[in-house]
Amino acid sequence: MVLRQFLNAMGRVMFTSVFLVSTSGRGLERLPKPKNVFVNSTNMRHILRWSPVRFPLGGITYSVQFQGEFERHHKKTWVVISECSRITETWCDVTADISSDVDYDLKVRSQFENITSKWANLSKLFNRRESNLRTPRLTVNVRGGSLTLDVSEISKNIHARIYYWEKGAEQQILNISMDHNPFNVNLRSGITYCFQAQLYISGYNKSSYPSDPICETVNKDATSNEIVSVVTTVLLLGASILVVSLFLTWKLCCRVQSAWFPKVSAPYVPNFDTLQVDTTREEDRRKEFCDAVQVLPQSEPLLSQCQPLTREERSNCKTDIESWTINSGMSGNVSQLQCPMAIQYWKEYQSQQNSEFSKLTKNGTDTTQIFEEFNKR
């Protein structure tokens, strides 16, 4: 297989050498020029086409030039189309170069390495007014009371005329013109409309065949439901975003406050204005916490029992009685008394008071009255 490729390559080189030597003295008559050169123009798109050149060695390229009315009559020159220089295709888009409504001439030639053919021109001059308009493709989208029309062939120089009517009333046909896509039409709800599209070129008096009719029913309720759904969705989404934003802002403020202004517990200070002071009187304290103590004055029996004593002893006995009265009320200890007669007399007197107190208590007499009675005695 490698040997076959090598032989083919050598054959091509030898054939090329022989071809160049044989045509070097006779010009370019052996490299044929393109044939059947014409312009195919549809919907204002202009394509120059030609038949391919048959050459045994292959590798043929093509170059295209054009000449407008100004170049043809005044400058006597040709303009090179850079996009179509040394190309291998057998067509060239010249739409951008044919930019006015004048007659244009175009030519093309073939080329093999450094060898070029003669130029092949159009059989007649071309004017873009000759462009053909083909039947458009119409698309109708219904959204409630609004319809969206789309005609794919609309361009800068080509517009569309829309015919529409109520289904069943074909004699009442209305039409509108549209120069862009998409195009919205507002119609009555609950009615079926039919539509047709036709292309035309403004100023050329040229139009295409109309498209096939498309019938659609307008339903306004669908749009109302869609609007309600969209509005509800937007409101819920906005409310969610607002709640999340407020929550994040609150958390951020709390963090900033805790970082820059930390809380410090204040020491406890008592309120002296509300502090209650125990102002209980001495008399009330005695009545509340202390038992009643009856202090007996010196009586005749006690003095009679103490007469045999000396003056110093009577003085001590009197002092001991007073001391015993106080000590007995405070601690209940009577062992400190030094007067036996006073002790005996006190015991008898205390027994008598206790019996009288018990009788008064059993009779239902009030305790306060009992103490007043005892104080009188």
* pLDDT of 1 strictly over 60: no
Given this model, what pLDDT does residue 266 score? 63
Which strands, in side-by-side order, build the sheet including 91-93?
35-42, 45-51, 91-93
Please report where in the chains the tokens 């916490």 appear, as a residue. 289
The whole-number average pLDDT for the span 252-262 is 79
Given this model, what pLDDT does residue 84 score? 95
Low-confidence winner among 119-123, 227-231, 263-267, 322-326 (lowest mean pLDDT) = 322-326
Q: What percent of the chain has pLDDT over 70?
A: 60
Given this model, what pLDDT does residue 261 score? 72
* Mean per-residue pLDDT of the chain: 76
More confident residue, 40 or 345: 40
Q: What is the pTM of this model?
A: 0.52
Given this model, what pLDDT does residue 13 score? 47
The whole-number average pLDDT for the span 175-196 is 87
Given this model, what pLDDT does residue 325 score? 45
Give the pLDDT band of residue 311 (cuts 50, 70, 90): low
Q: What are phi and psi of 313, to 5 degrees?
A: -70, -40
- DSSP assignment of 27-83 equals TTTTSPPPEEEEEEEETTEEEEEEEPPP-TT---EEEEEEE-HHIIIII---EE-GG
Task: Rank 5-14, 140-149, 288-297, 304-313 by mean pLDDT and report only the highest.
Answer: 140-149
* pLDDT of 282 strictly over 60: no
| pLDDT tens sequence across 50-87 | 999 988 877 899 999 999 999 999 888 999 999 999 99
Residue 48's nearest CA partner among 58, 56, 40, 60 is 40
Given this model, what pLDDT does residue 299 score? 47
Degrees to nearest 5, angle at CA 59 with 55 and 64: 90
How many angstroms separate the CA atoms of 90 and 367, rounded?
140
Given this model, what pLDDT does residue 302 score? 45
Residue 166's nearest CA partner among 222, 211, 216, 220 is 216
The whole-number average pLDDT for the span 326-341 is 44
The whole-number average pLDDT for the span 135-148 is 85
Degrees to nearest 5, angle at CA 235 with 229 and 237: 100
* pLDDT of 324 strictly over 50: no
More confident residue, 361 or 185: 185
Give the pLDDT band of residue 226 (cuts 50, 70, 90): low
Query: Is 23 exposed, middle or buried, given 0-12, 13-18 or 19+ CB atoms closer than 10 A?
Result: middle
More confident residue, 296 or 158: 158
Residue type, 242: L
Given this model, what pLDDT does residue 106 score? 97
More confident residue, 341 or 328: 341
- DSSP assignment of 258-280 equals HHHS---PPPP---TTS------
